[in-house]
């Protein structure tokens, strides 16, 4: 190995980047970081309760047009009879004709009865009414 190779860590014939190339790399890096940040921004949590976010997402996915989901009167409670958390509220979505169907009750019990919307056949009508009454009223 030559004495020049030992004292100079750059490979022989290697040139450093010009100041213009360094500035260009910095600008490109910043532009890439900004682009990634703008794309990832919608993926960041909204600060809402994770169980509320999950309930909204899961209910929206059940709708004919998930992007049409409208939610109102969402509450998070601890059920009186067992103290478990439950998310209650109302959801509205569009039908095949593009019209809204009207608000329906829903509840989500992360540690128990799962996710149910009134009239969605996941529970018998009477069972939904009982669970709603004991969980959400």
Residue 79, pLDDT above cutoff 60: yes
74 and 58 within one domain = yes
40-76 pLDDT tens trace:
444 445 577 888 999 999 999 989 999 999 999 999 9
pLDDT at 4: 54
CA 129 to chain centroid, in Å, comes to: 29
59 and 17 within one domain = no
59 and 38 within one domain = no
Residue 19 lies in domain: 3-43
Of the two residues 55 and 25, the one the predictor is more confident about is 55
Of the two residues 87 and 110, the one the predictor is more confident about is 87
Averaged confidence pLDDT in the chain: 78
89 and 23 within one domain = no
In total, how many domains does the chain have? 2
**C-alpha to C-alpha distance for 108 and 112, rounded to whole angstroms:** 9
How is residue 113 written in tokens? 């009865």
76 and 38 within one domain = no
**C-alpha to C-alpha distance for 96 and 30, rounded to whole angstroms:** 45
38 and 10 within one domain = yes
Q: What is the DSSP string of 64-91?
A: SSGGG-EEEEEEEEE-TTT--EEEEEEE
DSSP state of 41: G
132 and 75 within one domain = yes
58 and 39 within one domain = no
End-to-end CA distance of the chain: 83
CA 100 to chain centroid, in Å, comes to: 24
Least confident of 8-12, 118-122, 133-137: 8-12
| pTM, to two decimals | 0.62
- What does residue 32 show for φ and ψ, rounded to 5 degrees? -65, -45
70 and 107 within one domain = yes
61 and 23 within one domain = no
131 and 68 within one domain = yes
Residue range 27-38: mean pLDDT, rounded: 57
97 and 30 within one domain = no
Residue 105, pLDDT above cutoff 90: yes
């Amino acid at each position: 190995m030559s004495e020049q190779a030992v004292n100079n860590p750059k490979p022989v014939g290697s040139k450093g980047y010009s100041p213009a190339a360094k500035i260009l790399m910095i600008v490109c890096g910043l532009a890439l970081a900004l682009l990634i940040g703008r794309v990832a921004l919608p993926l960041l949590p909204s600060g809402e309760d994770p169980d509320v976010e999950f309930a909204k997402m899961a209910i929206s996915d059940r709708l004919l047009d998930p992007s049409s989901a409208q939610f109102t009167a969402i509450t998070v409670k601890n059920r009186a009879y067992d103290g478990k958390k439950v998310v209650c509220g109302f959801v509205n979505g569009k039908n095949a004709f593009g019209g809204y169907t009207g608000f329906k009750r829903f509840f989500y019990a992360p540690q128990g009865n799962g996710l149910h919307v009134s009239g969605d056949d996941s529970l018998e009508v009477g069972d939904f009414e009982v669970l709603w009454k004991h969980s959400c009223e």
